[in-house]
Structure 1
Amino acid sequence: MSDTNKPADRLTRTRHQSDAQGKPEEDRDDWMKPARRKTARWRIVIRWMIPLFLLLALIGGLIFGYVVIGKQSLSDVFEWKTWQHVIDLVFAP
């Protein structure tokens, strides 16, 4: 692998020397900074949104199944003894 094809070199923007001549030093420094990845923020947001949506879908499904299909009251959905009873029915010997 040659020195110009290093992975770190791909993340830096460089200007040709003839373009950089006559420019202030600050402008040349701006072009030598590493390129910023804008997709990193979206990856973080998506990694948090997917589990959040899955949790909301689970809660919505529990409420829909218990209240609409089972015709029970909404307040019973959030009680632990209700789901303990369901678990006992499912895993009964």
Structure 2
Amino acid sequence: MNENNKPADKLTRIQNRKEPPAKTGSDGDNQKPARRKTARWRIVIRWMIPLFLLLALLGGMTVGYVVIGKQSLSEVFEWKTWQHVIDLVFAP
């Protein structure tokens, strides 16, 4: 039998092979930090969407009352103004 074909030689070659590099995140760690960042972004987005909707509602009410309705800006933030609007919209 030829020395190059010995089973022990094959085993040694297999053990000495370089393993493929492990997948790493952007900072060189395993993928767990990347998942953690993704989870953080999901939390941030879940809070940002309702916040943006609330800001859009307040901005739209303000623009509608001041620009379209030609009323003063100080009246926008008074409860009695919006109570009057609600009474007009939902009047029987």
CA distance in 1, matches of 2:49, 2:31: 30
Q: Secondary structure at the match of 2:91?
A: coil
CA distance in 1, matches of 2:31, 2:67: 55
Residue type at the aligned position of 1:46: I
Residue type at the aligned position of 1:35: K
Alpha carbons of 1:92 and 1:41: their partners in 2 closer, same or farther (altered >3 Å)?
A: same
The list of structure 1 runs, each at least 4 consecutive aligned residues, that deviate by more than 6 angstroms after superposition, is 17-20
Structure 1 stretches lacking a partner, 5+ long: 1-16, 21-30
Larger Rg: 2
CA distance in 2, matches of 1:72, 1:35: 54
Name the TM-score, length of structure 1 as normaliser: 0.62
Q: Alignment RMSD, CA only? A: 2.2
> How many equivalent residue pairs?
66
Residue type at the aligned position of 2:60: G
